[in-house]
């Protein structure tokens, strides 16, 4: 009986073109593409550290400075990008903010900037360090040349004491969270599937409900078969979205494919259970319940950062408990925690919380449908 109901629920759902559009086409091809157009290269152009554009004007030849400066301008991750060596052009570019500063090469190199900021401070720090070290080397060379090798060795050890260490091997793109929220939204919008299951079992809401209530099949078997079929389709939609984002849009999510599928599976189950439980409350028709739940789910997604990226952090500061019960925030945090810290306690806590929510709401929905009685059909 279970397999028979499961099969025909799948066929019935697939024939629903409107449901298929909102389940597969809209989140995958439309929203994911729009998100990629909006945020695809934003991190590279606005957030990621780029080589600082400067002009270098030679006032006095300084071979040592030239060697040091050229060293930090080379390699795969240069500190500076020299745009021009012409002083007049450099001043014009500085006024137009095409460069950050003008470095004057002299016996004691100095800097001219048009404003203050992080990049200007980096240039100044570099020049200050060079001037201090150059003065020390020159003083030792004049007064005590025998100690010069020891001084240079100490300078090198001080430099090597600071090493670049990556706190996470994941994606540092701050805008990737919008894709996390997109997947969370798609998962939670599976509530329409859970709502459809409960409405197909209520005689006062649909003709199919009347036939199902009159059939000899037990309600809980019909409900479980319906939930299983809807979960299969919702999970298939999530898989399609993951494939599209990772392999077509080439987005580095910072999370392995198996872990992503686990998160989307649990998220889809949570979304279905939300629709299944709240669909059994009250006598409103399916359209009204869909409208109410859509507003609730969109509010949850907003609070998790779908529209405003910093919203989840704001909620965490003012109402931290809400992030621990908001399914959208929990799904997003699953991705974030794995991307930042790897699979660990925080990720496990999020998954367990989502699973508990799913079980509680599903059991609650089963209790609601068992209590429904009809005087006549």
This prediction has a pTM of 0.67
- List phi, psi (to 5°) of 313: -70, -35
Distance in angstroms (rounded) separating the CA atoms of residues 130 and 64: 10
Q: In which band, very low, low, confident or very high, does the pLDDT at 371 lie, cut at 50, 70 and 90? A: low
pLDDT of 284? 78
145 secondary structure, DSSP code? G
CATH code of domain 51-160: 3.40.190
179-232: pLDDT as tens digits = 888 889 889 988 888 888 887 766 556 666 556 665 656 766 777 888 888 888
Q: What's the Cα-to-Cα distance from 80 to each of 61, 74, 100, 121, 279, rounded to whole Å?
A: 19, 9, 10, 13, 60
pLDDT, averaged across the chain: 79
**Per-residue pLDDT at 156 exceeds 60:** no
**H or E element, residue 250:** none
Range(s) for CATH 3.40.190 in the chain?
51-160
The token pair at 26 is: 């809209």
HSE, CB side, 13 Å, CA atoms: give it for residue 365. Answer: 32
- The whole-number pLDDT of residue 325 equals 92
DSSP string over 84-127: E--HHHHHHHHHTTSSSEEEEESSS-EEEESS-SHHHHHHHHHH
Looking at residue 167, its pLDDT comes to 46
| In contact, 312 and 322? CB cutoff 8 Å | no
Q: What is the pLDDT of residue 68?
A: 78
Residue pair 16/229 in contact (Cβ under 8 Å)? The answer is: no
CA dist., res. 256 & res. 242, Å (int): 11
Question: Residue 74: CB partners within 8 Å, gap ≥ 6?
Answer: none
Nearest to 38 by CA among 356, 377, 307: 307
Give Cα separations from 328 to 4, 92, 176, 183, 298 (angstroms).
Answer: 33, 50, 15, 9, 9
In the numeric block, the tokens 């990772």 are attached to 246
Beta bridge partners of 84: 55
d(CA 214, CA 331): 39
Predicted confidence (pLDDT) per residue in 314-346, tens digit: 888 888 889 899 999 999 999 989 988 888 899
| Total H helices, total E strands in the chain | 18, 4
pLDDT of residue 41: 56
């Amino acid at each position: 009986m279970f397999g028979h109901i499961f099969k025909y629920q799948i066929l019935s759902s697939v024939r629903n073109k409107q449901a298929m559009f909102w389940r597969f086409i809209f989140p995958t091809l439309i929203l994911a593409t729009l998100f990629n157009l909006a945020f695809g290269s934003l991190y590279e152009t606005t957030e990621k550290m780029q080589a600082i554009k400067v002009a270098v004007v030679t006032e006095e030849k300084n071979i040592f400075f030239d060697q040091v400066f050229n060293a930090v301008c080379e390699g795969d991750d240069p500190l500076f990008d020299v745009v021009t060596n012409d002083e007049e052009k450099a001043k014009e570019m500085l006024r137009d903010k095409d460069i950050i500063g003008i470095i004057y090469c002299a016996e004691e190199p100095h800097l001219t900037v048009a404003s203050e900021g992080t990049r200007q401070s980096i240039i100044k720090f570099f020049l200050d360090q060079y001037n201090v070290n150059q003065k020390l080397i020159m003083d030792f060379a004049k007064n005590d040349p025998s100690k010069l090798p020891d001084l240079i060795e100490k300078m090198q050890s001080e430099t090597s004491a600071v090493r670049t260490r990556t706190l996470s091997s994941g994606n540092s793109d701050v805008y990737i969270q919008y894709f996390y929220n997109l997947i969370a939204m798609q998962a939670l919008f599976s509530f329409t599937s859970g709502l459809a299951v409960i409405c197909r079992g209520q005689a006062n809401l649909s003709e199919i409900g009347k036939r199902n209530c009159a059939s000899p099949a037990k309600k809980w078997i019909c409900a479980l078969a319906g939930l299983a079929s809807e979960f299969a389709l919702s999970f298939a939609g999530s898989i399609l979205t993951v494939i599209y984002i990772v392999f077509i849009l080439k987005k580095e999510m910072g999370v392995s494919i198996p872990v992503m599928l686990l998160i989307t599976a649990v998220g889809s189950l949570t979304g279905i259970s939300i629709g299944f439980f709240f669909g059994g409350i009250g006598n409103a028709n399916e359209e009204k319940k869909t409208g109410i739940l859509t507003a609730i789910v969109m509010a949850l997604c907003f609070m998790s950062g779908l529209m405003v990226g910093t919203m989840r952090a704001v909620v965490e500061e003012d109402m931290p408990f809400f992030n621990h019960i908001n399914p959208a925030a929990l799904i997003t945090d699953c991705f974030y925690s794995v991307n930042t810290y790897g699979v660990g306690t925080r990720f496990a806590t999020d998954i367990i919380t989502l699973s508990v929510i799913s079980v509680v709401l599903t059991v609650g929905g089963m209790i609601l449908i068992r209590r429904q009685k009809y005087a006549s059909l």
